[in-house]
């Protein structure tokens, strides 16, 4: 029996950090369109669903080929977590369409450089390693500090024996681009992550998340300078 894999793209209309972020044009295309196209071009994903309470986001999402499920207003607040949104979508699909996915791929619309190839590579790892969940990460060589009551202190290295960055133990940071979970893990743990967790390592250059105006500017400059061949050009450097 074919494994049913869907992508869920949560997109609120009330973003305060960058107003109307999800429909704002980046290199001539609405930000959310990049995630929809990446999902629909995946060889594994059979349905791309946008969860939103916003009419304009819904209209644009349908234009680019996504199915839209109306998000309840209580799940569209600034403080609403993502997991209840995922659960609402899968429950709605079961109740309204008789469709129960085996695997849910969460694609946050703030990652325009995440491609269908990245999604497929992440799903290859997820399926081959028999994971319950997976997240995308990028390598990090940062020296991280925290501030405590007695002053600042490092949490991932010894400053008295400072290593070279290239000699530091491999560490990874979430890049927010891809999360994958089985239906069972999502509904049992009420979390995008649980059980056996896998990692999909993406190059840092693909891992830009749009959270600020500078992020928008940076992404647009990269897209405009690389054109349609931007991914091939960048990937040769990694």
Q: Which residues are catalytic, by number?
A: 162
Does residue 61 contact residue 32 with C-beta atoms inside 8 Å?
yes
Task: Report residue 165 CA to chain centroid gap.
Answer: 27
List strand residue ranges (DSSP E) for 29-170, in order: 29-30, 47-52, 67-70, 103-106, 133-140, 145-148, 151-154
Q: What are phi and psi of 232, to 5 degrees?
A: -65, -40
Where do we find the tokens 């295309």?
29
Residue by residue, DSSP assigns 188-230 as: HHSSS--SSEEEEE--GGG-----SHHHHHHHHHHHHHHGGGH
- Per the CB < 8 A criterion, the answer to whether 195 and 126 are in contact is no
Rounded CA-CA distance 223/229 in Å is 9
Handedness of CA 40, 41, 42, 46 (dihedral sign): positive
């Amino acid at each position: 029996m074919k494994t049913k894999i869907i992508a869920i793209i949560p997109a609120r209309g009330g973003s305060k950090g960058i107003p109307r972020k999800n429909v704002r044009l980046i290199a001539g295309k609405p930000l959310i369109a990049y995630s929809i196209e990446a999902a629909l071009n995946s060889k594994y994903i059979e349905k791309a669903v946008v969860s939103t309470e916003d009419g304009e986001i819904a209209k644009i999402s349908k234009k680019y080929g996504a199915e839209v499920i109306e998000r309840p207003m209580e799940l569209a607040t600034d403080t609403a977590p993502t997991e209840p949104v995922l659960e609402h979508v899968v429950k709605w699909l079961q109740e309204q369409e008789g469709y129960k996915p085996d695997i849910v791929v969460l694609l946050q619309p703030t990652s325009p450089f995440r491609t269908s190839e990245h999604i497929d590579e992440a799903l290859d790892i997820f399926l081959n390693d028999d994971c319950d969940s997976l997240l995308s990460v990028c390598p990090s060589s940062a020296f991280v500090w925290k501030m405590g009551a007695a002053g600042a202190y490092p949490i991932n290295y010894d400053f008295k024996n400072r290593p070279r960055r290239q000699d530091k133990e491999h560490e990874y940071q979430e890049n927010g681009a891809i999360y994958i979970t089985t239906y069972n893990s999502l509904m049992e743990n009420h979390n995008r992550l649980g059980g056996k967790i896998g990692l999909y390592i993406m190059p840092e250059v693909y891992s830009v998340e749009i959270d600020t105006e500078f992020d928008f500017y940076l992404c647009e400059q990269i897209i405009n300078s690389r054109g349609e061949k931007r991914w091939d050009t960048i990937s040769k450097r990694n």
